[in-house]
């Protein structure tokens, strides 16, 4: 349990540092008027690690409030339910990615085979389709 608490605290600290660095970068770019890119991107990106830190903080509060919650997270039935929910989420996301890929291809047909966005969408779709097989193979290889 101590290991989990230390890992969670480290996650909070690192996430807050990254979030703070991105936020300060945004402030500096705004004050100096430097047109690096759209400076709002740094502000938006700073929210991601801040959200991770917040989620980790809530997890830490849950652990401190109820140490028995750790046991329920390692229960095989609960782990199986979480894995099943993750698998269904992946299937839904794969369907959404496929629909977005098709929509982009039909809406902007002049970008097919030419645009990096089209290739990126195709690559992400293929990765979402083949990644489970690759990870399953890697896990199987590690266990044997």
Residue 71 binned pLDDT confidence (cut-offs 50, 70, 90): low
Phi, psi of 112 (to 5 degrees): -60, 130
Q: Please state which of the ranges 12-16, 39-43, 84-88, 91-95 shows the lowest mean pLDDT.
A: 39-43
Q: b/e per residue, 11-31, with b = 16+ CB within 10 A?
A: bbeebbebbeebbebbeebee
pLDDT tens digits for range 11-48: 999 999 999 999 999 899 889 887 766 778 888 889 99
């Amino acid at each position: 349990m101590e290991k989990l608490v230390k890992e969670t605290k480290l996650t909070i600290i690192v996430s807050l540092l990254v979030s703070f660095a991105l936020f300060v970068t945004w402030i500096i770019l705004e004050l100096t008027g430097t047109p690096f890119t759209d400076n709002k991107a740094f502000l938006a990106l700073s929210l991601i690690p801040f959200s991770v830190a917040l989620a980790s903080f809530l997890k830490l509060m849950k652990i401190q409030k109820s140490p028995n919650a750790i046991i329920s997270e390692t229960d095989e039935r609960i782990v199986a339910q979480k894995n099943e929910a993750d698998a269904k989420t992946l299937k839904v996301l794969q369907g959404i990615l496929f629909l977005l890929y098709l929509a982009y291809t039909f809406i902007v047909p002049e970008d097919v085979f030419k645009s990096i966005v089209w290739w990126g969408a195709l690559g992400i779709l293929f990765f979402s389709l083949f990644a489970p097989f690759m990870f399953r193979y890697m896990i199987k290889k590690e266990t044997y």
